[in-house]
Structure 1
Amino acid sequence: MTRTTGTPNDPTRRDRIIDAALTVIAERGVVGTTHRRVAEAAGVPLGSMTYHFDGMRDLLVAAFTRLAESMSARYRALLDAAETPQQARDAVVEIICGPGLGTPRELLLIYELYAFAERTPPVKDVTRAWMRASRVALSRHFDARTARALDALVEGLTIHNSMDADPMDRRDVAAIVDAISA
């Protein structure tokens, strides 16, 4: 049985549903995400799902958009704080190796996002917008080609390091970032 919270005019309900969708996706994958599971995790009546979203695809787009925007904001903040080329390179290394981006839960959600995006054009648009935002943040410090290469490096090394029994250490990542951005 779902528990209800708030009044019928609950202004946080939609956001709670989106956050709950990310929780359910992280626990069960996109394929195991249902309206009933999300409603239960959000503590809302099942009817709220169709009130706030035009089906599961709409909910998943909203959830993956929230993930992308949240991670992109933290990524951008690290790069925005950089004032010198070396600080910008250090920020890229931090994005790849630091604890603040790419938590195990977020990485799991990213894997789900990529797989689902390949078959779902609106979600593919979310990933493309995220890539553009990453490149814009990098382009404050690097030319367009270097920004694109560094963006691909961030994606690739983050995924590899999360799955590798012997992940690349920070010193080696810094050497690669230096080589690409030289």
Structure 2
Amino acid sequence: MPTSPRRYDPDRRARILRAVLDVIAQHGVAGATHRRIAAAADVPLGSMTYHFAGLDEVLTEAFTLLADTVSARFTERLAAAATPDEACEAVVDLIVDESWATPRTMLLSYELYAFAARNPPLRRVMQDWMEKSRAALRQHFAPDTAKVLDALIEGLSIHRSVDPEPMDRAHVRAVVARLIP
């Protein structure tokens, strides 16, 4: 049942961006159309072109929202570590807990990686996300170690999301410990 038109809707643009991520999670980037996004956001189709210059812009901004949201949780977890041992445990948490690597976030990340491989503006979103992750890790680890840990976190998170027998916490902790001088 259609809803009544909104005259004052200051959250419309943000709602559209959240809806984009919902549509991508359900249909993939290839299935993200103006119509589908507008319907998911419960906005008139014209709102899409009013708020965004085109589909590439809305996808870039939505993926930026995803990256910023996940980066904030990542940074928060690492910032809570007060000792080197707590920092190592934070890295393990980032790999094995669903605090940031929820199934939905992982699915959206796969879509972002694939889309960024063919779309230079999205590549910049990925690079910025990696830099935020590495900066959070550099609070506790040397720059080279932070770079390796960032790749480990992403790689093991991807594997854990699809592996029928993912590494358990103790195994992940042992791998992390081997990487830290």
TM-score, structure 2 normalization: 0.97
Where do 4+ consecutive residues of structure 1 move more than 4 Å? Answer: none
Give the whole-Å Cα distance in 2 for the aligned partners of 1:115 and 1:152.
Answer: 17
What is the correspondence of 1:11-160 to structure 2 with a 5 Å cutoff?
11-160=10-159
Change (3 A) 1:5 1:99: farther
Cα root mean square deviation, aligned: 1.1
State the shift of 1:145 in Å. Answer: 0.4
State the shift of 1:10 in Å. Answer: 1.6
After superposition, the C-alpha distances for 1:18-51 in whole angstroms (9 at most, x for unaligned) are 0000000000000011000000000000000000
Give the whole-Å Cα distance in 1 for the aligned partners of 2:94 and 2:3.
Answer: 39
* Matching of residue 6 in structure 1 with residue 6 in structure 2: yes
Give the whole-Å Cα distance in 1 for the aligned partners of 2:5 and 2:80.
Answer: 40
State the shift of 1:99 in Å. Answer: 2.0
After superposition, the C-alpha distances for 1:106-129 in whole angstroms (9 at most, x for unaligned) are 100000000000000110000000
CA contact (8 A) 1:3 1:40 kept: no
CA contact (8 A) 1:4 1:43 kept: no
Change (3 A) 1:81 1:119: same
Question: Structure 1: where are the runs of 5+ without partners?
Answer: none
Question: Structure 2: where are the runs of 5+ without partners?
Answer: none
Range moving further from structure 2, 123-132 or 94-103: 94-103
* Matching of residue 177 in structure 1 with residue 180 in structure 2: no
Change (3 A) 1:15 1:4: farther
CA contact (8 A) 1:2 1:45 kept: no
State the shift of 1:6 in Å. Answer: 2.8
- In the comparison of the two structures, how many residue pairs are matched? 181
Give the whole-Å Cα distance in 2 for the aligned partners of 1:35 and 1:17.
Answer: 10
| Percent identity over paired residues | 53
After superposition, the C-alpha distances for 1:77-97 in whole angstroms (9 at most, x for unaligned) are 000000000000000000111
Give the whole-Å Cα distance in 2 for the aligned partners of 1:127 and 1:11.
Answer: 28
State the shift of 1:100 in Å. Answer: 1.2
